[in-house]
Amino acid sequence: MATDAAEPTRAVPGPPLRVRLPSVSPSVRDFLATEAGSAVFLLGATVLALVWANSPLADSYDALWSTSAGFHLGSFGLDLSLHHWVNDAAMAVFFCVVGLEINREITSGELRDRRTVAVPALGALGGLAVPALIYLLFNAGTEAAHGWGVVMSTDTAFLVGILALFGPACPDRLRLFLLTLAIVDDIGAITVMAVFYNDGVDTAALGVAGALVLALLVLRWLGVWRLTPYAVIGVALWFAVNASGVHATLAGVLVGLLLPSRPMARDHVEQVPRWTEGLVAEPTADREHLAELAARATVPAGERLQRLLHPWSAFVIVPVFGLANAGVRLDPEALRAAATSTVTIGVAVALVAGNTLGITGAATLAIRTGLGRLPGRVRWGHLLGGAVLAGIGFTISLFIAELAFEGELVEQAKIGILAGSLIAAVLGTILLRILGDRLPLCSPDDDLPTGLPPRPWVAGS
């Protein structure tokens, strides 16, 4: 029998609409995986250097890295020790990879979102300033005060490597957060190195370097996609920067920052099938070459160069750098001197306490003031554990120590770096392990209902 009015439809309860939170991009995932693998090689090289430098063959360690090598072409030539070839030339490749990653993240990665980047960026600034201030508290007014830059950098390879060894059930967002922090940290450390740790400036050579940087900008503006012109100018830039008195590795950073990294327009990509169809129709060497060039032109030059250089940097250059620089003598006399050295104590305390206080304090300030937010399921407790791990200041710290000090101060600074980095690694691992057990980064409910407020286990700290 018909009713006067239709009965209202009653909503049937059902599962809430869920969306998958954005995952880490494949390019970032590859970067993280390579850095994690690099940490194993770097750790092995560091242990080998320490064993070698404290063995009966210690003299051969010093003799190897002081060996002179170079080349001459008419009146032009360059002679450096193997130690300087590693630190000044090979490490330019490492810094180029750092510049490429910064460039990519700013152009198309995590550093584009102001609220996402605010917390790790401000945390990184705290991790730059507070360790330097703590170091100066120990060394103000002494000749060692010049080494305040030693404690301002986080070693990305070791940081990501440790997270890979024990990370929570769903660690990618925490890794990405700490990677963003380390990238901003690297920007600050590289700037400090270029401004405060140079041997005086040759204006003529610096002018040549400026002209070469302008040439890189012109190539980028013209949309040149081939790597060869950038590589040729990059090598010339290294020689110019090296001659200018500014540390030569800055050339690598500049190349990395200036290479094109923005994805190509869609119409460029859509032209590739035309060339492959021509190859299928007539498989000749010329058509194969044209199809290859068409495909290559669709990928930014910066991304292609990073794919080429990053494995060499991670698995060869950084471990060799560790082998060449971590060979500190740990005999009783050296350890007694380090135990009372304000350089050693200042470096170790600044790395551990400075990063913990600086990163946690500045990041918390950004959260409380509404400037930014923690991504995904990352909570304040994980931020604290990551801040402790950020005290692993190995590669760039050793690098700046070589620039800032001479003689015994170099050895004392290196012992402080090794001690502080070890303490930070152990404490950070323990802290994140405890927090990972008590406050898992991800729950079985990996998705959140759309439009609903965060659940208590997400919002809590």
Domain contains 424: yes
Domain contains 307: no
Domain count, the chain: 1
Domain contains 188: yes
| Segment (H or E) for 71 | strand 68-73
Domain contains 422: yes
Segments in 197-282 forming alpha helices (H): 203-222, 227-244, 249-258, 266-270, 272-281
Give strand pairing partners of 68: 81
Q: Is the pTM of this model over 0.85?
A: no
Give strand pairing partners of 78: 71
Domain contains 46: yes
CATH number at residue 123: 1.20.1530.10
First to last CA, the chain: 59
223 Rama class: left (phi>0) / alpha (psi -120 to 50) / beta:
left
| Residue range of the domain that includes 376 | 23-60+112-197+326-439
Question: What is the 3-class SS of 14-56, one letter each residue?
Answer: CCCCEECCCCCCHHHHHHHHHHHHHHHHHHHHHHHHHHHHCCC
Domain contains 371: yes
The tens-digit pLDDT sequence of the chain (461 residues) is 444 444 444 444 444 433 333 455 666 666 666 666 777 888 888 899 999 989 998 899 889 998 988 888 777 778 888 988 888 888 888 888 878 877 877 777 666 666 667 888 888 899 999 999 999 999 998 889 988 999 988 877 777 777 766 544 445 667 777 777 877 787 788 778 777 887 667 788 889 999 999 999 999 998 888 889 999 999 999 999 888 877 777 888 889 888 888 776 666 666 777 767 676 777 778 777 777 777 777 778 888 888 889 888 888 888 898 888 888 888 888 888 889 999 999 999 999 999 999 999 998 888 888 887 776 666 777 788 888 988 888 878 888 888 888 888 989 999 999 999 999 988 988 887 776 556 554 443 333 333 333 433 333 33
Tokens of 437: 């057990």
Tokens of 338: 């380090």
Domain contains 233: no
pLDDT of residue 376: 62
Distance between CA atoms of residues 330 and 320, nearest Å? 20
Are the beta carbons of 41 and 312 closer than 8 angstroms?
no
Q: Report DSSP letters for 355-393, one per residue.
A: HHHHHHHHHHHHHHTTS----TT--HHHHHHHHHHTT--
Domain contains 450: no
